[in-house]
Amino acid sequence: MHAVVINKGQQGFVAPMRAALSPLEPVFVFDRCAPSKDAVRYRTNSEGDGFLAGRMRDIGAEGVDDDILFLDGDKVPMGDIVADIESLKGLYDCICYGIDGSLEHSGLRAFMRDDGRHGIVEWQARGFPYAYGCYSCGLWVSREAVRRLRDLNGGRIFHPAFDGVWGDEDNFLADELGYSGFRIGFSTRVRLSGSFGNCEDKRKFDGFTENFVKRIRLRRDILGALA
């Protein structure tokens, strides 16, 4: 398994992240910030504007043909996430992990509420186009699913249409996996530390709205989801 941790000004979390991911040695991708002295394996990015989490994840995954665990820099697993993935990967092709005491408890992602459980995400339960399938801040993707995403996205795992603007790059990844027949699961047996951002900031809200429209168009153009 390969682990990618994106980091933008969160250097203080590098050491605890490495400890939490032992025995893996994650690749840290420092986005427009200085690398941490605690990072053994890392890559840096100094180009681009705006929200580039998807692109940074792809930079950390370059040349990797394996299962991949993606984590945000400050979302340190509170438990043995490596062992949890190993125990569940025969059941799911993609596993998302929630943040301790955050958005999944509000009702938007009700499937993440109860601790100590796992299961299939009802990917289309809310009906098109409201498919909340993945948390990209804590996401494991199998090698077969990674290959499929790269086939769909011109070599990328996270579609480049969302580069520069916050939001929905993870939900479109769920769209692609769901339409391709992969099993999207969740686990609350391990939580991630920290908190989840929201759309109260107008710039974020406007960006999310823009990306939501992109997502609908991509579902039509790439997945044929619309007539």
Mean pLDDT by 10 residues, the chain (227 residues): 96 96 95 96 94 96 97 94 96 89 54 76 54 74 97 96 90 89 91 70 79 89 68
Q: Is residue 12 part of a domain?
A: yes
CB < 8 Å & 24+ apart, contacts of 216-225: 216/129, 218/159, 218/161, 218/172, 218/175, 219/128, 219/129, 219/172, 219/175, 222/152, 222/176, 223/175, 223/176, 223/179, 225/128, 225/129, 225/175, 225/179
Compute CA distances 61 → 131, 156, 181, 224, whole Å.
25, 9, 23, 28
Prediction pTM value: 0.89
Cis upstream peptide for 160 (omega within 30°): no
Amino acid code (one letter) for 74: D
For the beta carbon of residue 111, count every other beta carbon within 10 angstroms: 20
Give dist(CA 120, CA 211) in Å, integer: 25
Structure tokens at 4: 């990618």
Q: Which phi and psi angles does 122 have, rounded to 5°?
A: -75, 85
Structure tokens at 42: 């890392």
CATH number at residue 85: 3.90.550.10
- Which pLDDT does position 127 carry in this prediction? 45
Q: What is the DSSP letter of 36?
A: P
Q: Is residue 120 part of a domain?
A: yes
Q: Output Rg (C-alpha) for the chain, integer angstroms.
A: 16
Q: Is residue 27 part of a domain?
A: yes
Q: Is residue 227 part of a domain?
A: no
Asked if residue 27 lies in contact with residue 10, where contact means CB atoms within 8 angstroms, the answer is no
Question: How many independent structural domains does the chain possess?
Answer: 1
Q: Is residue 137 part of a domain?
A: yes
Segments forming the whole domain that contains residue 86 = 2-221
Q: Residue 138: helix, strand or coil by DSSP?
A: strand
Asked if residue 2 lies in contact with residue 27, where contact means CB atoms within 8 angstroms, the answer is yes
Compute the C-alpha angle 9/165/162, nearest 5°. 110
Q: Is residue 226 part of a domain?
A: no
Compute CA distances 72 → 53, 56, 69, whole Å.
9, 10, 10
E strands, 85-195, are 94-99, 118-120, 138-141, 184-192
Structure tokens at 149: 């995403």
